[in-house]
Amino acid sequence: MKLSALISDGMVLQRGKENYIWGSDCAAGSVVEVLIDGNRSAGNADKEGKFKVLIPPVNTGGPYKIKIKVSDPNGRNEDVSINNVMCGDVFLLAGQSNMEIPLCRCLDLHGEEISRMNLPDVHYFEVVKEYAFGDPVEELYEGNWQEATQENLYPMSALGVFFAQYHMENTGVPVGLIQTGVGGTHIESYLSEDHVISVGELLRKEALKRGEDITKCDCDKNDSCKVCYEKQLKMDKDKAWVEKTSADEVKAQQEWYDKLNSRDIGLKEHWEKLTSLYDDTKQARYLSVPGRWEDLEENKELEALRGSVWVLKTVDIPESFVGKDIKLYLGTLVDADETYVNGIKVGETAYRYPPRRYVIPAGILKAGANTITVRIVANARSGGFVLEMPYYLALGDEKISLEGKWQFKIGGTSYSEKDGCYEDFKDITFFTWKPTAQYNRMVYPLKNLKFSAVLFYQGESNCTHAWEYEYLMVEMVDCLRELFNDDLPFGFVELPMFGGEDTHGDTTQWDNLRLAQERAAAKIPNSTIADIYDLGFTYELHPQTKKEAAKRLYDKMKELMKW
């Protein structure tokens, strides 16, 4: 007998509904018995050795033990026990990065509360982040249920866990969270192929009414639209092409970094160990923190630079900071960084979005002058220190600001003499974002589960085609309700305020997407939408205000579902 990873210790059954227990690898015709809480249900394995047994509603609470007994036609028996089973409300978490953002990324606002959080009756299952094209994947065999206790909860969806906490406080009901969100994904990835084709036809008709040219597609490699859906579906079904594309792009990125690193004087000369980047400090050059390099009037050469820039600041440290672990808040950097304090690496991040929150271990800082050195790699856009982010050292409530002038020196670049320009670090193709990718691999295998509702926070990656989102959102709901054969309630999170680092505070695209979300939610029966506009920040794509966002979503769902 082989069971789905979903049928494992810690699973959560949906209260008030009949639930399925299913598996495979049994002899054809085997009798399968499922025993839970004194109730017995039975079924038979089909000719392929698969079984699906429907069990009656279980009393809310737990923990329960599920016993599965298989008796094959030859008289052989097999028993399996599933322990720590709860019965409560199960929520499907879906969307992109703001649904995915874990609790460990919200510590600036809620660190003390999260450090005390202990929710053993909240069980969390994260679906492996993979894609599939063509035929959907029937079963999940990776992953496990985890309790939202201190040793487990930091990587869990912040919005999901806070929502579950509110639900338990309100109802006392155990909660199951199944997380399918993937950073950067598009709503089309949650659609089946039939639904992608159907909505594409609808969108093209609507576009003609709007006077749009539907013969041209302006999508980049990680987008897709009404003009190219069918083409994209066909390409992505070519497994050899997908694998070669992925391998070639990863290789090209590595080659870009290898070339840059070989040219970086700072790496060769170990600038991280210096107390000044210049022998003669009178010749030193400075930039302002925070600030994007494209906004630096005094150093315009940095705006176009694709390569590494080393920045250094000397900081006076009081005796009270010595011998203790100190938190280093370095805002958000564009794009990658390696950060050193007094020549010792204290952290690194490979891409632009995560907030830099590093710990300087006790023993590194000394009383008096200390140096903080950051090697920043701007690989695809103008680099810099994002505005409206925190830049300081912290010991409890005591803070030392890191804003102001920092020395800078160019370490190496990707400039090509042959082409007369910088070589950009090319994005890889994120196939998980493509139409049908998540539906086929991450959502379809959940089809036998019963849910209380779907919680959906997505839209950021679709904002370049904002008007279309209204139709895509309606289609997505139809698709998932069809898959689960249930008129599932949907709770949507409306996008917050955001201007974008690369749009100089222009909120137009997100404003238009937000309006599309509102129009769609008004059309979708048994749904609600939470307004979190004021919880956003101009330059922060991933606001840490997830607790309040969860509260607003919960209040909307509570009203919708009459909890």
Q: Which of 385, 323, 435, 423 is nearest to 539 (CA)?
A: 385
Are 132 and 125 in contact by the 8 Å Cβ rule? The answer is no
- Torsion on CA atoms 395, 400, 402, 407, rounded to nearest 10: -110
528 pLDDT band (50/70/90 cuts)?
Answer: very high
539 pLDDT band (50/70/90 cuts)?
Answer: confident
Residues 6 or more apart whose CB falls under 8 angstroms from that of 82 comprise 7, 8, 9, 11, 65, 66, 67, 68
Q: Dump pLDDT digits (tens) for 308-320.
A: 999 999 999 999 9
Q: Dump pLDDT digits (tens) for 236-273.
A: 999 999 999 999 999 999 999 999 999 999 999 999 99
Assigned token pair, 335: 């794009």
Q: Average pLDDT over the chain, rounded to whole?
A: 95
pLDDT of residue 402: 98
Domain ranges of the chain: 264-413
Yes or no: domain 264-413 corresponds to CATH 3.40.50.620? no
Are 30 and 72 in contact by the 8 Å Cβ rule? The answer is yes
Residue 378, H or E segment: strand 368-378
Output the pTM of the full model. 0.95
Are 54 and 129 in contact by the 8 Å Cβ rule? The answer is no
Cα 314 from chain centroid (whole Å) = 35
Q: Which residue has the tokens 């008030």?
A: 16
